[in-house]
Amino acid sequence: MAYPDIRPRRLRRSAAMRRLVEETRVAPAELVLPLFVKEGLTDPRPISSLPGVVQHSRESLRKAAHEAVRAGVGGLMLFGVPTSEHKDETGSGGIDPDGILNVAIRDVIAEVGDSTVVMGDLCLDEFTSHGHCGVLAADGTVDNDATLALYARMGVAQAEAGAHVVGPSGMMDGQVGVIRRALDQAGHSDVAVLAYAAKYAGAFYGPFREAVESTLQGDRRTYQQSPGNIREALREVDLDVAEGADMVMVKPALPYLDVVAAVRERVDVPVAAYQVSGEYAMVEAAAANGWLDRQGVMLETLTSIKRAGAQIILTYWATEAAQLLRDRY
């Protein structure tokens, strides 16, 4: 049939019609809110490069968790920020039951219980004095297998604190399998593993490093992926699923939507994507200058990540976006 018989605009003529035929929708329950908790704080501390995001005190963390649950957010990913005196060469604060991350997990579980999914970031970088995601060998490189032994202990510590999900993000070879076995042997077979399966050594993490007070010396290119590689990402995903990952994640999200789509086609486990600090900060900075419609871009970026194939989206906008989405639909 030829013009004017075919008129696709009929399905765009009103807001009600557009809602009816919309192909991709983000649900609040698909959003996960990353939260930072700083040891020793009595009040939340703003993070200059992440407008609207703070380092929480234990008290403000509980309030933020409760607010997210009210908004319908599907999960919370917790990051602990220890004081400098509690950082060391091996990141022992991440394993200590009284370390800030494990204390925070217990606090949030006590506050919200099973009303949302409580996740712990399973990595040593916030806890090491050198800022790397594992322990260092004599030559200064990250010792993969020595790090795995600590990851196993860290996973069990988070499970014993009450975490529903652990999120190994260090990109060590074999990390998922080691953590899965340790959890099962310790009686935590019901704790899920969200594998940061394709985590790229990109340039979008700067604000996050302020948030966790990173002491990184050098870079992470020997263990995180090169931004140009997608076949390597699929290999990493295959390995993590074979080792027992319950969910897999691509990080960052927007610069790697093609990777998200390829992973979605590859696996039958839920796929997550992390809209990282640099993605968030760019939008916030542009909106503050009047260059973008902040809420419009927020929802558009989340929709694009969902459309690419992510079932779960980690985003610093999670609570606000959940509220907007509930009003929208």
C-alpha to C-alpha distance for 123 and 167, rounded to whole angstroms: 8
Cα–Cα dist 37/111, whole Å: 15
- CA 165, CA 240: separation in Å to the nearest integer? 15
221 marked ligand binding residue = no
Q: 251 catalytic, yes or no?
A: yes
What secondary structure, in 3-state letters, does the chain show? CCCCCCCHHHHHCCHHHHHHHCCCCCCHHHEEEEEEEECCCCCCEECCCCCCCEEECHHHHHHHHHHHHHHCCCEEEEEEECCHHHCECCCHHHCCCCCHHHHHHHHHHHHHCCCCEEEEEECCCCCECCCCCCCECCCCCECHHHHHHHHHHHHHHHHHHCCCEEEECCCCCCHHHHHHHHHHHCCCCCCEEEEEEEEECCCCCHHHHHHCCCCCCCCCCCCCECCCCCHHHHHHHHHHHHHCCCEEEEECCHHHHHHHHHHHHHCCCCEEEECCHHHHHHHHHHHHCCCCCHHHHHHHHHHHHHHHCCCEEECCCHHHHHHHHHHHC
Q: Which of 38, 87, 199, 306 is catalytic?
A: 199
277 is in an annotated binding site: yes
Tell whether 316 is in a known binding site. Answer: yes
Tell me if 160 is assigned to a ligand binding site.
Answer: no
Q: Is 236 annotated as a binding residue?
A: yes
Active site residue 199: yes
From the annotation, which residues make up the binding site for 5-aminolevulinate? 209, 220, 277, 316
Question: Which residues form the catalytic set?
Answer: 199, 251
Question: Residues at the annotated binding site?
Answer: 209, 220, 236, 277, 316
Q: Which positions make up the binding site for Mg(2+)?
A: 236
